A = this chain, B = another copy of it.
């Protein structure tokens, strides 16, 4: 059976040393997270995930969820008990506002915990994860009464939440939804329609499920400007605010999926279900984006998570499995063969994984800090700057993070050879679970267009210019340094490629917007390479400073610098190739009509 240990040393390194969370002590909610508290949250959270959630990951995959004839759903063995422990320990409340019973700690710590949860058990993590998305929307758009009614019990995980967007005929293009919301005399709405792919849509973990549902009111515009958001509890609340009468929403089926078997992905049938509008009529898309942006960051972290757990198991296998001899001569001549860890092609895959996961962890936690700064930074200007950078980072964290996460998980499965293909070893599950993250919360093609079609151009390109400045400053500061200089030079090459690609878009996309679409995926990957490079430069800088002081765990810091070198050697060269592909534009891509794609006999 595969195993998982939360990489808490690395998380503490990023939180305490790279991001230096303590230096933000003047911000609300940050004053409580002294390094002692931070370390305790990280260590205890990691322990909970490794000891409680990881052991039911594989059995959850094998058993899946079961829907009964009455539409109720049973989660796999142990999930109910684990969720109770999760709730009791308050792991769902870390970054939630104190006003509604949360702990009000920085999102940085919430994100660290999300990584551990998803590594240990991605399907489990989606139950509280979706709840967080619904909480975000209610905080931002709910009425005071709605907040009062739902938030405390959602934040405490007594109840869970869902996001109901997709319908059979539409996913990305939500303007096409058909679910109807008819206003009732009592101010509520009668919701009727079919929603599909509803994660955590029905289950036995909580006393109530609070569905947030996109629907159309009568006469609403037939586009994305005509959708409204509704809150539809599974059980209507009684006068005391407790679950009472069953509402008219039923799970019609659960999907048979490639992975995340332990999460119940439901078809939900709404048949005159009672719901209440959240926010303004026809402004549902904006509310949805609040849920989506939070969820997209979480999904990006899932890419990291599956890569990390797959990596840990591949390392153990590579050290245990003996086949062949090192190319430089037997490493362990007394044994019949050397561990496969000695083979460069195995090491290549492990180093790729190490460079990705540690870099991506830094990026994800920096993303968490940006979320905090958008809300809590002291000046309006700082908040706006954080929001701008976060907007740019969100599609990169989601798109690049999950594309690479899947690639790394696949390569870690490859380290196992034939055993990687056998379900008992658990590597197949990591790959199958990782796969969904490239698809949901907006496919990675949608992320790429969000980045290139929306974020790049916003405010005359202010965000991307701010990003270039940020990277440029770190490069400039590192240049000339014996250790950091060579790293910075390679990162500068990648940055140069991104700047050329940006320029090419500016010069060509107006004339033909397909040029933008044809290069968006490549651009997202170039930016992923640059921003992970920035993380590595920052981590190497901290590591070098620590080494100057002869720290106890010298090997930890030396490994950071060595891995930064590997990153610059083996990740950065792709930026140039991607830029060249991007500059070939849309012409050869769009040259052929549909008849050229038919299979001719």
Contacts and interface: CB of A to CB of B under 8 A. Distances in A.
Given A176-B336, A521-B345, A5 B565 contact: no
Interface stretch (A242-250, A389-397, A585-593): A585-593
B566 A589 contact: yes
Contacts of A9: 600-601
Given A424-B256, A521-B348, A600 B556 contact: yes
Interface in A274-323: 312, 315, 319, 322-323
Interface stretch (A152-160, A378-386, A439-447, A466-474): A439-447
A433 to B, nearest CB: 11
Given A315-B598, A573-B580, 14 more contacts: A9-B601, A169-B322, A171-B418, A173-B323, A327-B514, A344-B518, A345-B448, A345-B449, A351-B589, A351-B592, A354-B597, A432-B432, A562-B591, A570-B588
Interface string A419-452: 0111110001001100110111001110011000
Interface in A543-601: 553, 555-556, 559, 562-563, 565-566, 569-570, 573-574, 576-578, 580-581, 584, 586, 588-592, 594-601
A420 B445 contact: no
Given A343-B445, A590-B347, A258 B423 contact: yes
A333 interface: no
Contacts of A350: 597
Contacts of A43: 601
Contact of A443 (B417, B453, B556, B565): B417
Nearest to A338: B173
B344 A514 contact: yes
Interface string A332-356: 0000110001011111101100100
A110 to B, nearest CB: 20
Given A343-B445, A589-B344, A589-B566, A438 B418 contact: no
B173 A324 contact: yes
A372 to B, nearest CB: 26
Copies per complex of this chain? 2
A520 interface: yes
Nearest to A559: B596
Contacts of A348: 518, 521, 589
Interface string A484-525: 000000000000000000000000000011101110110000
A46 B599 CA distance: 12
Contacts of A592: 351, 559, 562-563
A6 interface: yes
Contacts of A414: 438-439, 443-445
12 contacts: A5-B601, A222-B336, A258-B423, A319-B594, A319-B597, A328-B512, A328-B514, A345-B518, A354-B597, A417-B443, A570-B584, A573-B581
Contacts of A257: 421-423, 428
A45 B577 CA distance: 40
A84 interface: no
Contact of A513 (B324, B327, B406): B327
A563 B591 CA distance: 9
A74 interface: no
A325 B598 CA distance: 22
Q: Most chain-B CB neighbours within 10 Å: which of A413, A422, A588?
A: A588
Contact of A323 (B172, B417, B555, B598): B172
Interface string A192-203: 000011000000
A343 B444 CA distance: 13
Given A257-B422, A344-B514, A418-B439, A600 B324 contact: no
A387 interface: no
Contacts of A424: 256
Q: Most chain-B CB neighbours within 10 Å: which of A513, A570, A597?
A: A597
A316 to B, nearest CB: 9
A543 to B, nearest CB: 12
A255 interface: yes
A429 to B, nearest CB: 9
A8 interface: yes
A38 to B, nearest CB: 15
A418 B517 contact: no
A40 interface: no
A67 B257 CA distance: 25
A2 interface: no
Contacts of A319: 594, 597
Interface string A139-179: 00000000000000000000000000010011111001000
A10 interface: yes
Given A312-B599, A570-B581, A345 B422 contact: no
